[in-house]
Amino acid sequence: MSTSDSSSLKFSLESLNNGGSLANKCGIVITEMGPDRVSGTMPVAGNTQPYGLLHGGASAVLAESLGSIHAMALAPAGKLAVGVDLNCTHHRSAREGVVTGTSSVAHAGRSTASLEVVIHNEAGKRICTARLTCNYIDAPR
């Protein structure tokens, strides 16, 4: 799906990849958006701790960005997804290259959605597993 019109809001990959959001500041690029998964990439460079490792907070930004977009793509008509819980387990570090995250649905209901986001390095090794839970609230009119 390249465009979503759930919640009477329209967004496309192009609109998600442009603008002044935190995801854009971290260099996140959404590469795939559909009902079953949302994927994106983020460079390690510029998103590190002072000693050169990928910052855990940057992994959290990637996870919440992908999961929130996924929840919005699944949102019931007239609803917005808002994150209420994010849990990240960091399995290994990355020092260079690009990491890729993929969101998949753990639960999609009328009032909540839970997404699992797995982040891999360029060698395909898992560096982070995250779970995001979103509540659906009424969209502004």
Pure H helices in 46-133: 56-74
Give the pLDDT band (50/70/90) at residue 21.
confident
Q: Give the Cβ contact number of residue 59 at 10 Å.
A: 26
Mean model confidence pLDDT for the chain: 90
Q: How many residues does the chain have?
A: 141
- Bridge partners, residue 104, by sequence: 37, 116
Instruction: Provide the annotated active-site residues.
Output: 64
What's the pTM? 0.89
Q: Give the Cβ contact number of residue 88 at 10 Å.
A: 18
Instruction: Identify the burial level of 124 via C-beta atoms within 10 angstroms of its C-beta, where 0-12 means exposed, 13-18 middle and 19 or more buried.
Output: exposed
72 has a pLDDT exceeding 90: yes
pLDDT score for 10: 53
